[in-house]
């Protein structure tokens, strides 16, 4: 089983749609959680951190459920510019800091 699992997609949605991505992680010692965005042939860029209380940044809402080891990202009112790969990222600190990346979920927003 992969340490961080995501649905690879692709998700094809029209502009204005709401889309949700899910992610599960296997290591209960995971400490911090993030969503990154990666455009084609570019490096990943931090989109937002994820907290148990849930957090929102404009059209983006992230949620963490530690009991279920589940992370989500909701994008409302999708824009063409949201088209990218979204990476679920987990930090561990078990005798050393380590970051585990999910394989990413591809999103295509169409006009």
Partner 1 sequence: GAVVSQHPSWVICKSGTSVKIECRSLDFQATTMFWYRQFPKQSLMLMATSNEGSKATYEQGVEKDKFLINHASLTLSTLTVTSAHPEDSSFYICSARDLLAGLRGETQYFGPGTRLLVL
Write out the residues near partner 1 by the rule CB under 8 A. Answer: 31-32, 34, 41-46, 49, 87, 91, 96-99, 101-104
- The distance of closest approach from Cβ of residue 36 to partner 1 in the complex, given in angstroms and rounded to an integer, is 8
The DSSP H or E segment spanning 92 is strand 84-93
Considering the complex, state which of residue 49 and residue 69 has its C-beta at the smaller distance from partner 1: 49
- Please report where in the chains the tokens 């690879």 appear, as a residue: 8
Considering the complex, state which of residue 2 and residue 16 has its C-beta at the smaller distance from partner 1: 2
Q: DSSP string of 16-43?
A: T--EEEEEEE--TTEEEEEEEEE-TTS-
């Amino acid at each position: 089983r992969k340490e961080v699992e995501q649905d690879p997609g692709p998700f094809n949605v029209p502009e204005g749609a709401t889309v949700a991505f899910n992610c599960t992680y296997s290591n209960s010692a995971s400490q911090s959680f993030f969503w990154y965005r990666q455009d084609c042939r570019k490096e990943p860029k931090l989109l937002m951190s994820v907290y148990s209380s849930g957090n929102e940044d404009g059209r983006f809402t992230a949620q963490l459920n530690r009991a279920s080891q589940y992370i989500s990202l909701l994008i409302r009112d999708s824009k063409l510019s949201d088209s990218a790969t979204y990476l679920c990222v987990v930090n561990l600190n078990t005798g050393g800091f380590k970051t585990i990346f999910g394989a990413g979920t591809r999103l295509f927003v169409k006009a």
